Amino acid sequence: MLLIHCPHCREDREEEEFSYSGEAHIVRPVEPEALSDKEWGDYLFFRKNPRGIHHEMWYHGIGCRRYFYATRNTLSYEILETYMVGEKPQVIAAIDVAIDAHRDTPRGTL
């Protein structure tokens, strides 16, 4: 039973008021028709499954009915931060920082 801080309500609320809505920061392609089946399939089906820091989307359905993001440690279930859609996380896994540093462009999903 998680205790989740809703950034909209600004309160710690019980897990049963929320539902998990998948990985955070997945942006819908602007022109879906321009993508190959493979590219579209990546957007549609492929998700991270990290051991450790994970950015997730949650829905406060039995509350303010707002979506928000949470950074959760999938090992300890510790929720390290919750933040608004449109914002960037403050807590980022070391491996993601390393990957970003070697990319030409910033992570497109952030």
Partner 1 sequence: MNQVNRLSAVEGTRTRIDGTVPINFTFNGKQLQGVAGDTLASALLANGVKVVGRSFKYSRPRGIVGHGAEEPNAIMQIGSGAATVPNLKATQVELYEGLEAASVNGWPSVNFDLMSISGWFGRLMPPGFYYKTFMYPAKLWMTYEHFIRKAAGLGSTPVQSDPDSYDKLNQHCDVLVVGAGPAGLVAAREAARAGARVIVADEQNEFGGSLLASTQTIDGQLAVDWVADLVAELNGFDNVQTLPRSTVFGYYDHNFLGILERRTDHLGISAAAGSRQRMHRVRAKQVILAAGAFERPLVFAHNDIPGVMQASSVSTYVNRYGVAPGSRLVLFTTNDNAYQTAIDWHRAGRQVVAIVDSRSQPKGDIVAAVKGLGIEVMAGHGVIEAQGGKRVKRALVARLNAQGADIVGPVETLACDLIACSGGWSPAIHLSSHTGAKPVWDDSIVGFRPGKSKQQERSVGACAGTYALSGCLDDGARAGAEAAKLAGHGDGKLYFPSAAVEEYKEQPQQALFLVPHSKKTSRAPSQFVDMQLDVSASGIELAVREGFESVEHIKRYTAMGFGTDQGKLGNINGMAILANALGQSIPETGTTIFRPSYTPTTFGAIAGRDIGELFDPERYTAMHRWHAEQGAEFEDVGQWKRPWYFPHVGESMHQAVNRECLAVRKSVGILDASTLGKIDIQGPDAAEFITRMYTNSYLKLALGKCRYGVMLKEDGMIFDDGVCACLGDNHYLMFTTTGGAAGVLAWLELWQQTEWPHLNVYFTSVTDHWTTATITGPNARKVLAKVCGDIELANDEFKFMDWRDGTVAGVAARIFRISFTGELTYEINVPAHYGRHIWEALIAAGEEFGITPYGTETMHVLRAEKGFIIVGQDTDGSMTPADMNMDWVVGKNKTFSFIGKRSLQRSDSVRENRKQLVGLKTIDANTVLPEGAQVVFDAKQAIPMSMQGHVTSSYYSANLGHSIALAVVKGGHSREGQIVHCPLADGRTIAAEIVSSVFYDPKGERQNVE
- Which residues sit at the interface with partner 1, rule CB under 8 A? 1-3, 19, 21, 27-28, 31-33, 35, 37, 40-41, 44-45, 57, 59, 61, 65-67, 76-77, 79, 85-86
Across 1-110, the runs of DSSP E, i.e. the strands, are 3-6, 11-14, 19-23, 53-59, 67-73, 79-83
d(CA 30, CA 34): 9
> Whose Cβ is closer to partner 1: residue 10's or residue 103's?
10
Question: Cβ 76 to partner 1, closest distance in Å?
Answer: 6
Question: Cβ 106 to partner 1, closest distance in Å?
Answer: 19
Say if CB 26 and CB 67 are below 8 A apart. Answer: no
